[in-house]
Structures are given as C-alpha cells and as structure tokens.
Amino acid sequence: MAKILVVDDSPVEIKIVRNFLQDRHEIIEAQEGNRALELAAACQPDLILLDIIMPGLDGFAICRALKSRSDLADIPVIFITSATQIRDVVEGFRSGGQDYIIKPFYALELQARIKVHLELRQSQKTLQQYILQMEQKNEELKKMMEKLEISAKTDYVTGLANRRSMMETLQQEMERLKREGGQCALILGDIDNFKQVNDTYGHECGDMVLKTVSACMRSVLGSQNYLARWGGEEFLMLLPGAGLTEAKQRAEQVRAAIAKQVFLYRGREFSLTITLSVIVLAADSELDESMRVLDNGLYLGKRCSKNCVVDSRDGVVCSRE
C-alpha cells in the first residue's frame, strides 16, 4: 500500500481526499508547511498531494524545500489547489511539481493521476535499482579483471612475477636504456640439484623450497630491483642501473644467503645451493642474445662446480667469500 502525504490547511479538504483514497492508500496528513517537511523526511511517502494557498510556507515554498533535499527530491508532488491562474500552474511546475489538479476535483481523475505517478515512481525505483546493480556488477567485474591480470602475471607458487611479467619489465627497461642511456644487470639463478628434492621429499617440499628461496632473494635484492620465477627452479633478477661489480656482489649475496639457509620439512633438515650467472646490458644490447649468453654462463657454472657466480661474458667463475 502506497503512502500519500496530504498537505492542506483545511481539515475539510484533507477529509475529502482521505475519504477518496484511504481504501487503497495509507494517508498521512499535515496542515502546515514545516510539519509537512518533517513528515516527509520521517515517513518517506510515495507521493505528496500539496495545496498552494496556506499560511506560513505556501505550496511552492514547500515544494522547493522538498526538491532541495536529496532524500526527498524524488518524491512526486501533485499540486491540488483552487489557484487557477496560469501563472500559478507554471510556478507549480517551476518549483518542482509533477502535476497540477484544480479544486474541486473529480475523484476518478485524482485516482488516475495518482496511479500514473505512483507507477512512474516505481519504474524509476526499478530503473535506479537496475542501474545500481549494473554498477555493482561492473565494479565486481573490474575487480575480477584486475585479479585476473595480477594472476596472469604472478607465479602461483612463489607469488613472484612470472616469466610473462618479467619479459614486459625487461622490454620496458630496454626502452628506457635506449631513451636515457646507462645500463642494467641481469642475474639468472638455478637451484642446484632441485630434482633430488622433489624425488626425495615430494613436490610439496619442492614448493616449500621455491617459496623459501624466493624469500631469501627478496631480502637480498630489496624493493628497487625486480625478481621473477623464470621457470621451474630458475629465477631471473633485474637490477636497473647496476654495473658488473654491483651485480656480482648481489649475486654472491644471494648465493651465500641460500647456502646458509636451513630447510625444514616434516622434521627433516637439509641445505641447498644455487648457481648464478651475471650479465650487464647497455642501450645497444640485444635482449635475446643477452639471454642466450646468460643461459650459457649458467650452464658453465653448473658444469664447473655449482654453488657459484659466473660472469657470463667471459665465463669466469667468481670467487666466493
């Protein structure tokens, strides 16, 4: 049952309206402007029947006050009045009214106009709810797409950037070098004898090792450098602005940190090492060729002794502290 606020300074007029409408609607009554505004705010009626000629605030002032408030502006207002001048009708619409009925009115006409405006308001509410739902769905979709984008660039085991994400970062870094000059360093690391870990302890233990090694690398590299799981047990590190000396030092720090790390799995302790290859890139470096040289350096380190840092350009195995 719709709630209708009837505002008129005449109790007789209010009674007439109530008699016509109370069987189908809940009627709320007010005989002056301020009370009408209070009831509108408190009861949130579905429609307001508003007289114009009243002491204090007249109907136009009441309507403007209603339309100035965000919580009341959508309530349809029908002026029902004996003011018949065309200027009054125009002022009624200017003040925000939706309709205008001249007293004395016909009951069927009043009921028909109320029905139309109530249906219009319900349609507006339905549309607003639909728009709100669409906005919520769009926001949910946006968040889902953001999560998918993050997921597409993140290694699910370690939480590091994956190969795709690191390739994008590498390409951006090469573009920066071409614009600004300078250099950057790459470090490729591969956990030694990782297959034995999976064969001995299982893949769950292997995942634990990958996570622990990732944490060690993060702590050494810091937030200014980039780290990604390159594939399997391989990790690629990008050090923007770094030269060969700094890159070798960082790689050695990573090697030493992992060599000192004690791995614990279901009550069993073990240790691991990592082999790393280092290369420095400049603006004129070819990324694909540099990655090939980096791979070769890593392969050399594996063949020589493992648990070492290799300068991939000259194949020299760096000394360990």
Positions annotated as catalytic residues are 233
What amino acid occupies position 191? I
Name the β-bridge partners of 185.
239, 280
Cα(312)–Cα(297) distance, integer angstroms = 4
Which residue in the block uniquely carries the two structure tokens 């614009």?
A: 179
Q: How big is the CA angle at 109 (ends 115 and 84), to the nearest 5 degrees?
A: 120
What amino acid occupies position 317? V
DSSP 217-272: HHHHH-TTSEEEEEETTEEEEEEET--HHHHHHHHHHHHHHHHHPPEEETTEEE--
Cα(231)–Cα(236) distance, integer angstroms = 9
Q: Is 117 left (phi over 0), alpha (psi -120 to 50) or beta?
A: alpha
Alpha helices for the chain (secondary structure H)? 11-21, 33-43, 59-67, 86-94, 107-152, 163-180, 194-201, 203-221, 244-260, 287-304
Contact 183, 177 (CB under 8 A): yes
At 200, list the tokens: 């001995």
Handedness of CA 113, 119, 123, 126 (dihedral sign): positive
SS3 6: strand
